[in-house]
Chain A
Amino acid sequence: MATVDTNTPHDALDLVNSQRKKGVEFVVMAILILCSLVAVLVTVGIVLSLIFEAYRFFERIPMTEFLFGTQWSPQTALRADQVAAEGAFGAVPLITGTLLISFIAMCVATPLGLMSAIYLSEYASKRFRDFVKPALEILAGIPTVVYGFFAALTVAPLLRSGGESVGLNVSSESALAAGLIMGMMIIPLISSLSDDVINSVPQAMRDASLGLGATHSETIRKVVLPSAIPGVAGALLLAASRAIGETMIVVMAAGLAANLTANPLEAVTTITAQIVALLTGDQEFDSAKTLSAFALGLLLFVVTLCLNIIALRIVRKYQEQYD
C-alpha cells in the first residue's frame, strides 16, 4: 500500500474570509426574526388591549354581574335607583343567543358538510370532485356581508311568511334565519377539513374491511369514520369557533333584542352583534356601555381561542398518528 506524504506544504487556502457581507446578513436575519415576531406581537396586542379595556369595564361593573346577570340593556337604566344612566350588563342572554344560533348553524352544517366530504373523498369520480370542490370553495369565498344580506332580505321574510301560513309566529329577526345561513356558510369549512381527515385514513384499513366482505358504506361507517373521529371532531370545533365569532350575518339578520330564550323562532342577539351595536356611531370612550364591548370581546376571544387550541391540537395529534 502506497503511503501518502502529508507533510509537503501547499499553497495556503483561505478558508476564513469569504466575500459574504456578514453585516448585511446579520441585519437581514434580524429583520426576518422581527417579521416572524409580528404574529406574536399581534396576539400580545390583542390580549393586552382587550384586558386593559375590559379591566376598566370591570371597575364599574362587577365581573360576576357581567357573567351571570340575565338582563342586558346597556342603553337605559332598568330601575330608577340605578347609578346614573348606566344600564344592565348581564351577558347571559347574549351567550345563550350566540350558542343558540351557533347550535342551529352546526345542526345544518355538520350533516351536510360531513356527508359532502364523505361522498367526495370516497365515492365521487375525479371529474365530479374537480367540479364540486371549487364550487364549495366559492361558498367559502363569499363575504359574510353577502350572507347577511341574503339572510335578512330573503330568508327571514320567507321564514316569517312560511311560519304564518302554518300558524307560527316567527320573528322577522329570528335565530333560525341567522343560524340556517350561518350553517350554509360553514359547510365548506367542515367539508374541506373532514375531506383531508378522511383522506388521511390509510387505504390498508379500508382494504381490510372490504376484504372481509363489508360494503363500501359499512366500511365508511364502521372503519373509516371511527378512525377519523378525532380529526372530524377537531374540524367541528374549528367550525363552531368560526360560528361563534361570525359577525356580519348576525348583525344583519339576528337583531339586537337580548331575549333569554331557546326558541329558534324568536329574535335573539349575540356577543358579536352587540359589540358592533355598542361601538358603531359616536361614543364617548369612558362609558360602561362602550367599555362593555371590550369585555364581550375578551369573552369571545377567550372562548374561541380555547376552541381553536383544542381543535388544532386534536387535528395535529391525529395527523401525526398516520404520518
Chain B
Amino acid sequence: MTDLISPSSQLKGRKSAETRFQWYGRGAIFVSLLFLVVMVGSILTKGVGAFGTTNVAIEVDLGPDAIDPANPADARFEKIVKDALKTQFPEAKKRKDRRMIYGLLSNDMGFELERFVEANPEAIGGTATVWFRASDDFDAVAKGAVDRSLPEDERRMSDKEIAWIDQLTEQGAVERTFNWSFFTNGDSREPELAGILSALMGSALTLLVCFCISFPVAILAAIYLEEFAPKNRFSDLIEVNINNLAAVPSIVFGLLGLSMFLNTFGMPRSSPLVGGLVLSLMTLPTIIIAARASLRAVPPSIREAALGMGASPVQATFHHVAPLALPGILTGTIVGMAQALGETAPLLMIGMVAFIVDVPDSILEPATALPVQIFLWADAPERAFVEKTSAAIIVLLLFLVTMNIIAILLRRKFEKRF
C-alpha cells in the first residue's frame, strides 16, 4: 500500500531542496536590503556631523587703536582677530605656532568680526566677546572625530593644537550649534564655510526648466499616441523610439546637449537653461510612458459618453479624459522629476561643474546642481568634505523621498476613482 504520510528518502531530499531554494530567495532579498541599509546608514552617520558647527568665543579688543570709531569699515578686522588670538595664547611665539592658532578659526574670521561690528556699533571702543566659527579641523576635534590615541604624526591635529582646544573648551568658550550656513552659503574652498544654497538653487532652476518643457510636451505626446494616433507604421516608429530613448545612457544626452545646444545653437554654457533642456529630453520618455498608462486607465465609457453627446474627439479628450488622467500623469511627472534631480552625468557634459559661490538667480547664469556638488565635494582632498558630501547626499535623498511620497499619496488618493 502506498504510504502518504511518512516520506521516502527520495522525497526527503526533494523537500530539503525546496527549503534550500526558498532560503536562496530570502538570502537574495536580505543581501539587497542589507546593502541598502548599510549604504544609507553609513552616509547618514558620516553626514550628520555636518549639520552642526563649532563656534569659539574670543575676546577681541575693539579699542581706538584697532578701530577708528569715525570710520569703522576701514579697520583691519582680520588683524584684530589674530591679535586677539595672540593675546589668548601668549605661549605661541614661533611663526609656525602662530599659524596654528590662526588656523583654529575659519578663514572667514575677519568678515565675521566685521559683521559683528556692523550689528553692534556700540561695542566699538571697548572689548567684546565674539563667537567665531571654528575651522574644520577644530570642528573635527570638538565632535570627537579625531582619535587622540593615535601617534601625533598620524593625525591632522598636533598635541599642541588639541591642548589649546581643550583649554578653550574648559573655559566654556566652545559651543556647537546647528549649521545654518550649510543651507545659506554657496560653495567654498573651506569646508567649514561651504554650503549647498547655490547648488540647491541651480537644481531648482534646472528642474523648473525641465518641468516647463517635459511636462506639456510629454502630456500632449501621450494624448496623441493614446487617443488619436492611427495604428500604422508611423505610430509604431514613435512608440519604439520612445521605449528606446528611455534606455539610452544619460551621458549620451549630455553629449547631445554639448554638441547641439552649446556648440550649434550657442546657448550659455553651464546654465540651468541648457541643463534643464537636456534633462527634459531625458525625462520625456518616462513621463510619456506614465501618462499613456494613466490615459489608458480612464474607462472607455467616459469617452463614449462625451462622444455620444456630440463632443468632438478633441473636446472629449481635453474636457473629460485628460482631466481624469491628470493625477496619474502628475505622479509620473514627479517620478520623472525625481530622476532628473538625481542625474549627474549629462550635467557634467554641459559644464555645470563649475565652482559656484554665488547663488544663481536666472536660468542663463552659470550654475551647478546638487548631485554635481556632491560629485565635486567627493573629489575634494579635505577630510571635512567627506562629511559635507554625506550631508549634501542626505539633503538630496530627503528631497527625493519627499517627492516620491507625494507621488505615492497622489496615486493612493486618486487610484479608486473609477
Contact = CB atoms under 8 A, between A and B. Distances in A.
A and B touch in the complex (CB under 8 A): yes
B40, B240, B251, B396: which has the most chain A beta carbons within 10 Å?
B251
Given A153-B386, A279-B258, A218 B353 contact: no
A195 B198 CA distance: 41
Interface in A101-159: 111-116, 118-120, 122-123, 132, 135-136, 138-139, 141-150, 152-154
Contact of B248 (A33, A53, A153, A305): A305
B18 A301 contact: no
Interface of A is mostly: helix
Contacts of B264: 49
B252 A248 contact: no
Interface stretch (B27-35, B125-133, B162-170, B185-193): B27-35
Interface string B96-114: 0000000000000000000
Contacts of A220: 21
A276 interface: yes
Contacts of A300: 249, 251-252
Given A35-B224, A148-B375, A280-B353, A304 B386 contact: no
Contact of B378 (A42, A132, A148, A275): A148
A138 B408 CA distance: 13
A141 to B, nearest CB: 6
A202 interface: no
Contacts of A272: 249, 251, 345
A53 B21 contact: no
Contact of B393 (A120, A146, A252): A146
Interface stretch (A5-13, A23-31, A78-86, A259-267): A23-31
B141 interface: no
B418 interface: no
B396 A143 contact: yes
B180 interface: no
Contacts of A297: 251-252, 255
B250, B259, B389: which has the most chain A beta carbons within 10 Å?
B259
Interface of B is mostly: helix
A97 interface: no
Contacts of A143: 341-344, 371, 396, 400
B344 A184 contact: no
A304 B249 contact: yes
Contacts of B25: 115-116, 118-120, 122-123
Contacts of B71: none
B17 interface: yes
Contacts, number: 255
Contacts of B357: none
Interface stretch (A58-66, A164-172, A236-244): A236-244
Nearest to A47: B256
Contact of B238 (A40, A45, A191): A40
Interface of A: 18, 20, 25, 28-29, 31-33, 35-40, 42-43, 45-46, 49-50, 52-53, 111-116, 118-120, 122-123, 132, 135-136, 138-139, 141-150, 152-154, 184, 187-188, 191, 215-218, 220-221, 238, 241-242, 244-248, 251-252, 272, 275-276, 279-280, 285, 293-294, 297, 300-301, 304-305, 308-309, 311-312
29 contacts: A25-B314, A37-B238, A40-B241, A43-B244, A46-B256, A49-B260, A50-B252, A50-B255, A50-B259, A116-B28, A122-B25, A141-B342, A143-B343, A143-B344, A143-B396, A146-B374, A149-B374, A184-B39, A217-B22, A218-B18, A221-B21, A272-B251, A275-B255, A279-B255, A280-B348, A297-B252, A297-B255, A300-B249, A311-B247
Interface of B: 14-15, 17-18, 21-22, 24-29, 31-33, 35-36, 39-40, 42-43, 216-218, 220-221, 223-225, 228-229, 237-238, 240-245, 247-253, 255-256, 258-260, 263-264, 281, 284-285, 288, 310, 312, 314-315, 318, 338-339, 341-345, 348-349, 351, 353, 371-372, 374-375, 378-379, 386, 389-390, 393, 396-397, 400, 404
Given A280-B349, A305-B248, 16 more contacts: A36-B220, A46-B256, A53-B255, A113-B32, A115-B24, A138-B36, A142-B397, A146-B374, A146-B397, A149-B43, A184-B39, A215-B17, A216-B18, A247-B250, A275-B255, A297-B251
